[in-house]
Structure 1
């Protein structure tokens, strides 16, 4: 009787570890598939960035066109602009602990 009882108890003892192992394998397979999708997305992103950074610079859109500019389309675009530095309007700003600031 003890051999029959121990033989039928063995599958029951292994049921929980087997289920945990199956769940673990399923999770790992899911993570692997996610990584493959992520890899394809990254390759597409790198190709898009390479294309946009190799393109010639374009004129910066006027400020009035700001609401119509879409972030995805304008992202990483090279632009050309001109400006003038106004020395009379510059301000020196120091942070706490700045190494440039002298002690009083």
Structure 2
């Protein structure tokens, strides 16, 4: 006698189907959100590039007029005298001669005293560890009036895994404008600093032009990932439903 064939009812799929729909909606929502973030990030990158290419360079804004949202990354020029005796070194890395191999050293932050406004901290650029001592790069300790061209930057927040500074020992790990200004006993200083451009310094150090405006934009990759997971979910549920609904042999 042949075995009877009986289908499994679709009602057995209701629970799994609802759960699948909920997960599918979440995954599609995440993918769409990443596409929206991609469009936003591209707008930010475009805005930064446009600000950084302003010609001729602007005068630095007055402290009370500074607005990080609209002023950061603007191309500016300032004239004054470097106070090298108040130089501050901030631990950092810079691209080396070999691609993918970074140099370890410091960013040189030096106050620029101006006649036409408050002091501005200037990130003059990078020096390797062996040039930490200013005497080892004496040619770069220029005196007299200088003109600095670069981009405005807001104070750099300290990340979760960034060590706390030790002003007494001169150990800094982020470009903390208020903290550095207080440690240097600067009476009046702007709430921003200038990242110097790649104009060579005498002797070659510090080496400016270290600022990169190419922000990471991986949102399209993330969107494809979420959409891919959603597609896999549909495939898994389809296979599950097929095994539940196909005719099965019974007694």
TM-score (norm 1): 0.65
Change (3 A) 1:14 1:84: same
Aligned residue number for residue 43 of structure 2: 44
Asked if 1:59 is matched to 2:56, the reply is no
C-alpha distance in 2 between matches for 1:40 and 1:90: 41
Change (3 A) 1:87 1:76: closer
Aligned residue number for residue 82 of structure 2: 85
SS in 1 for 2:81: coil
Aligned residue number for residue 31 of structure 2: 32
Change (3 A) 1:26 1:49: same
Change (3 A) 1:60 1:17: same
Change (3 A) 1:53 1:90: closer
C-alpha distance in 2 between matches for 1:82 and 1:53: 19
C-alpha distance in 2 between matches for 1:51 and 1:90: 31
Aligned residue number for residue 14 of structure 1: 13
Contact in 1 for aligned 2:60/2:77 (Cα 8 Å): yes
Greater fraction helix: 1
C-alpha distance in 1 between matches for 2:170 and 2:17: 63
1 or 2 for the larger relative contact order (CA 8 Å, sep ≥6)? 2
Change (3 A) 1:87 1:20: closer
C-alpha distance in 2 between matches for 1:71 and 1:43: 19
Unaligned runs of 5+ in 2: 1-5, 90-168, 172-251
Number of equivalences: 87
* Residue 85 of structure 1: how far off its partner (Å): 2.6
* Residue 68 of structure 1: how far off its partner (Å): 2.7
C-alpha distance in 2 between matches for 1:46 and 1:35: 16
* Residue 10 of structure 1: how far off its partner (Å): 4.0
Change (3 A) 1:42 1:14: same
Which structure has the bigger radius of gyration? 1
C-alpha distance in 1 between matches for 2:37 and 2:85: 50
TM-score (norm 2): 0.30
